[in-house]
Amino acid sequence: MEKKDNLVSIIVPVYMASEFLDRCLESIINQSYKNIEIVLIDDYSLDDSYLICEKYSQQDNRIIIHKNKCNLGVSSSRNIGISLAKGKYIIFIDSDDYIDENYIESLIKEQYVTKADLIITSRCNVKGNEKKYIELNKKTFDPTLERRELISLIYKNVLGYVTNKMFLSEIIKEKNILFNEEKKIFEDQKFTIEYIKACKSISIIPNIYYYYVNNCDSVMNNLPPSYLNLCEENFNELKSLFPDDYSEIFVYKKIYAVSCAEMFFYNVIRRNSKNDFKHLMLTYKKHEYMMECREKNRLIKNIYKYNIFSIAYYAYILVSYVRKKREKK
């Protein structure tokens, strides 16, 4: 199975990742499946990331390093990686994450058996010493016919990441599927959706894990004020997978709207920004599909009812402070 034409290109965008990069690269170079090329795109890191990349490239001739002349962002870096990739298969790994030792071998075996265009694995969210496993059930299906399976992946936010997946290079390059370089968040989902539209089959394998590390410096932990606008755009992209009015996507819409608002709440509190909090409320009010869901969130409903931006904000700060005190004990 480990034939020359079964080369796997692993694309790793690297930016200011010196704290995590050793673990990431060790997990890749020690894979049981050896027919790989490791494409490292250093996005003008100011720490020791590039030196770490060079250290590993001297030890392993499967490593290719490209250094950006300025900071271009993760989407541009991944697109450069795609242009450099020579493999039949493409896997994306973030520089602060890591994978099981037989991760790639399991993906290749599944593709060999099912001939699926997209292979998806289970995922484990890592935060400090805590691990939360996101289990998926084994399944091979046609996304154009079995829409219930596709909506299940949406509910579990599986389409929100290009990691924990193996893509066919031929489809990516024939359909010219690239990352939107103007997007700072949700760029993964846009890429995955465009790829799925070109897919005839998707296969899911459980019991093999991609370890996603919750890094406090990541974009999703530092959301921009325009986050809710981007959420609406993001939902419309998801909806495009269903050409007709598929009822379950509109059921999901209500859950999604509330989760978007709640995530932004927590980000605002973490930044201690009263202006951001007020902006959140005003932005939320502008979006009709979010307003539909306001009744589901009692806190947001009452903030609107009594216009108590400041009181609600400081109440959140107080609760957050008390929680931190308890955690320290």
**The predicted structure's pLDDT at residue 297:** 56
pLDDT tens column, 28-37: 999 999 999 9
Q: Which two tokens stand for residue 259?
A: 């989760």
Worst-scoring range by mean pLDDT, 12-26, 52-66, 288-302?
288-302
| Most confident stretch, 140-149, 171-180, 296-305 | 171-180
Fold classified for 4-216: Spore Coat Polysaccharide Biosynthesis Protein SpsA; Chain A (3.90.550)
Q: Which two tokens stand for residue 109?
A: 């075996």
Consecutive H or E run containing 38: strand 36-42
pLDDT tens column, 91-135: 999 999 999 999 999 999 999 999 999 999 999 999 888 999 988
Look up the pTM and report it: 0.84
Mean pLDDT of 178-196: 92
**The predicted structure's pLDDT at residue 32:** 97
Any idea which residue has 């709207």 for tokens?
257
Separation in Å, CA 22 to CA 19, 37, 168, 173: 8, 17, 27, 30
Domain boundaries, the chain: 4-216, 223-328
Pairwise pLDDT comparison (171 vs 291), residue with the higher score: 171
Separation in Å, CA 5 to CA 8, 9, 27, 173: 9, 12, 23, 17
User: If you write DSSP's letter for every residue of 65-106 in order, what string do you get?
Assistant: EEE-SS---HHHHHHHHHHH--SSEEEE--TT-EE-TTHHHH
pLDDT tens column, 69-79: 999 999 999 99
